[in-house]
Amino acid sequence: MDQNGTESVAYEFTGTYNHGLDAKGRLTLPAAFREHLNEGSSAKFAIWLDKQCIAIYPLPVWRQFLAKLQSLPWTDARSESVKRVVLSSAFNCEVDKQGRTVLPPHLRELVGVGREVTLVGKGQFVEIWDRAKWTDYFKRGHESLESDASRLTL
């Protein structure tokens, strides 16, 4: 259990996978991600805090994140704004037997995700990026990796 009384669960979502959405907005999830996203109950979609991608959280990780959100002071306008935006963008992520999920159109619109996407493992959850945006983001991150990493305690 963590400090909020929520069960702590470790996932290891890693790697990048390029996929395309079909005409119905369905995304086939990589097998490496599929098995953990619908373990017993639906995962959750939500926009990520930097508004550049859609996050998919396994339910235990979503509950940990939700506990952190709920612990923010309700008397603080910024805290309430973050909660409203993030929670209003959260929806169940149902994965069918073929390993597909429908990306909600309004979330795709909010973050600018087109038909060509890149799924990015981010440890405890998965990010879904518009492929062109991811390519640009990764290139900039790669160029500054040495400088950025030197500022961290790893």
- Walk me through the domains of the chain, giving residue ranges and CATH numbers: 16-150 (3.40.1550.20)
pLDDT tens digits for range 16-68: 999 999 999 999 999 888 878 876 678 899 988 888 999 999 999 999 999 99
pLDDT surpassing 70 at residue 104: yes
Percent of the chain with pLDDT over 90: 71
The helix (run of H) or strand (run of E) holding residue 49 is: none
Q: How does strand 43-47 pair with strand 91-93?
A: antiparallel
Residue from 105, 143, 7, 120 nearest 53 by CA: 120
Write out the two tokens for 75: 């008397």
Q: How far apart are CA 140 and CA 13, in angstroms?
A: 22
Residue 128: strand, helix, or coil: strand
The answer to whether 93 and 45 are in contact (CB under 8 A) is yes
Task: Tell me what pLDDT residue 42 has.
Answer: 82
| Sign for the pseudo-dihedral over CA of 79, 84, 86, 92 | positive
Task: Tell me what pLDDT residue 7 has.
Answer: 54
